[in-house]
Amino acid sequence: MNDRRVPLVDLAWQHTQVDQDVRRGWDEMLADTSFILGPPVGEFESGFAEFSGVRHCIGVGSGTDALEIAIRALGVGPGDDVILPANTFIATALAVTRAGATPVLVDCSPDTYLIDVEAIEAAITERTRAIIPVHLYGQMAPAREIRDAFPDIWVVEDAAQSQGARRLGESSGSIGHLGATSFYPGKNIGAYGDAGAVLTNDDRLAEQARKLRNWGSEVKYHHPEKGFNSRLDTVQAVVLSAKLRRLAAWNELRSEAARLYGELLADLPVQLPVVADGNDHVWHLFVTRVPERERVLGELNANGVGAGIHYPTPIHLHGAYSDLGHGPGSFPNSEQLSQSALSLPIYPGITPEDQEYVADCLKKALR
């Protein structure tokens, strides 16, 4: 029996890198008892705003909350349509629904799997108030092109998988009217629980997002509007600041691993990821496409390779969104991808030997 294991994501290596910084920060927090919106929250918000090239970062409870708060900050709600890709995690659509608006789905590009700009134009109606380009797997969707092409429509970047990515010199989360990101533990910068942030260069929208995350108020016991309880915990801000100091280096390790996979898999019948022109990819995921995906995945998992699928079901084929009226065949690129996509292990700390083992197991499975 083979006992070797290469997980899809290994967070233990990351923790060893930040362990002392995190313990020190937690000790200071406990001594100060600053558990809610303590100084570490503001310190992280300032640091991540600078890292992302924006004026404002508003820490919230999760990536889904970040998207919903961004949508609500724009005044988008019941009676409004929001365009987003069918190929994304369901949280993108759920945030729209939670804000009271209607998700309008479009297909993805067949090569990069990012939102198809031409499909956006065909989907716009008088009800369209916002577009959500999803930066997927670690590379940015054409958010600047979308904002320039549709100047009368709000753009909200879903930047949950792209911390540190750049497109034509612009940072993830800095292009749209608002950006939303997730610090779920497995992200390029992950908390030790759920967390997220809203990003913007707009002072008014930043003020609105801050109100919405804190029961609709910036002044205690004064609530001019309805809001939520969705604040970044101080305990998570300590972790995120420790990781932020290392994020650029960790993203470079991901890039090195992606380059090695490209060499190791070059001769296999595998469709490798395509990086769009102008993109600096940060390789949150390494998504390939293979024939007989279910069988190949099963063999990899049986040999200790933690491969996965991102995503096995497009938004329109989930029961949660059957009410949108899209059946099989509605978004063929997204559907074909969902049937052949295979994510290979990638994370800072993965060794060349681990990657060689993954490639060898994949080669055997493809026989």
Tens of pLDDT, residue by residue over 48-99, are: 999 999 999 999 999 999 999 999 999 999 999 999 999 999 999 999 999 9
Range(s) of the chain covered by CATH 3.40.640.10: 12-244
Q: Considering the chain, what percentage of its residues have pLDDT values greater than 90? A: 97
Q: What is the mean pLDDT of the chain?
A: 97
The domain defined by 12-244 carries CATH number 3.40.640.10: yes
Bond prior to 184 in cis (omega within 30° of 0): no
Q: Which class for 1: exposed (0-12), middle (13-18), buried (19 or more C-beta within 10 A)? A: exposed
In this model, does residue 312 exceed pLDDT 90? Answer: yes
Range(s) of the chain covered by CATH 3.90.1150.10: 248-366
In this model, does residue 118 exceed pLDDT 80? Answer: yes
Question: How do residues 243-267 score in pLDDT, each as one tens digit?
Answer: 999 999 999 999 999 999 999 999 9
In this model, does residue 132 exceed pLDDT 90? Answer: yes
In this model, does residue 126 exceed pLDDT 60? Answer: yes
Q: How far is CA 39 from CA 34, 199, 208, 231, in A?
A: 7, 19, 21, 13
Through-space distance between the first and last CA atoms of the chain, rounded to whole angstroms: 21
**E strand spans, the chain:** 56-60, 81-85, 102-106, 128-131, 154-158, 166-167, 170-171, 178-182, 196-200, 279-280, 286-289, 341-344
What's the mean pLDDT in 108-121? 97
- Which pLDDT score is estimated for 3? 84
Pairing relationship of beta strands 196-200 and 102-106 according to DSSP bridges: unpaired
In this model, does residue 287 exceed pLDDT 70? Answer: yes
Copy the structure tokens of residue 234: 């101080």
What's the CA gap between 187 and 366, in Å, rounded? 29
**Can you name the residues that pair with 343 across neighbouring β-strands?**
287, 308
Copy the structure tokens of residue 95: 């945030």
What's the mean pLDDT in 275-302? 98
Q: Which residues of 272-283 are buried (b: 16+ CB within 10 A; e: fewer)?
A: ebeeeeebbbbb
Q: In CATH, what number does 248-366 get?
A: 3.90.1150.10
**Can you name the residues that pair with 57 across neighbouring β-strands?**
199
Question: How do residues 11-37 score in pLDDT, each as one tens digit?
Answer: 999 999 999 999 999 999 999 999 999
Q: How confident is the model at residue 219 (pLDDT cuts 50, 70, 90)?
A: confident
Q: How far is CA 178 from CA 77, 170, 206, 210, 229, in A?
A: 16, 14, 9, 13, 20
Q: Which residue is associated with the tokens 């910036």?
A: 218
162 and 284 Cβ atoms separated by less than 8 Å: yes
In this model, does residue 1 exceed pLDDT 60? Answer: no
